[in-house]
Structure 1
Amino acid sequence: MVSLDRPIKFEDVDAANIVFFARFLNYAHEAMERFFAPLDGGYAGLILERRIGLPAVRVEADYAAPVRYGQALRIETSVVRIGRRSATLRYRMHRAHDGVLSAELRHTVVTTDLVQLVSVPMPEDVRALLGAHLELEQAPSSAGQPA
């Protein structure tokens, strides 16, 4: 898991002084850039030099608790699935001051040749980084049922 602390800025909130729902997608992308920083050249090198992109093909979001201007989020990025050409990242966003889960996003990306705009097999260094942060998901167990 890779963590990113992200302060909430005035531009992030709506008239109710809570983070506008769409901003959580921006936060996820910031966390993704941090996640891929260990690659040679980081995320920017992957995109600009190697011309390999990771466009989103699916995003799911669940919102649990509001976050306000002046607070901060701790964004924990992990990987829940790795395929031959795609992967799904999970972003758990907790309010930094009390640890309450504010939002959880799942973001499926496809490795893409940015010159030809076609999907390509995942580069080995990208696969290795994703694999280092792979978390096995646990299915919820029913109360009173053996686990």
Structure 2
Amino acid sequence: MEIVRNRGACVRAISLAEALHVVEARATLEGLVAGRAAERVDREQTETLRALTADMREAFDRGRLTRYGELSTRLHELVYDIAGHETAHRIIQELRARTVRQPDVVSLMGNRTATSLSEPWTSSRPSQPEIRRRLRPPCAGT
């Protein structure tokens, strides 16, 4: 939002370059969160992450995109909780709010969803790269 003199408040348009910078910043912060979560995750939390991923896979396969988006949000929130890095979480939320208006659709871009859901959690204690790969914004590339 921005306030325009004599016009009131409106949604501020951002350039493609700014959007890409926001995605890069988010990817970097989510890497920090993933690393912290990998250091702190316990067996019960890992099982919850696995269950959420299975539920996400089912929702995606059935074309239930709204349900998929809800589950994705829950998965991200769990990883943020495990990481315990409130500052990074707050900044990620602020960055996401600047660029994402349709989170369910954006999360499905580039077939990243199908790729991510086809990858199993590889161990009883997920690694930083594994958690980071699952948090990566869809536009961030590989």
TM-score (norm 1): 0.29
Question: Which structure is higher in helix share?
Answer: 2
Question: Which structure is higher in strand share?
Answer: 1
TM-score (norm 2): 0.30
Which is bigger in relative contact order (C-alpha 8 A, separation at least 6)?
Answer: 2
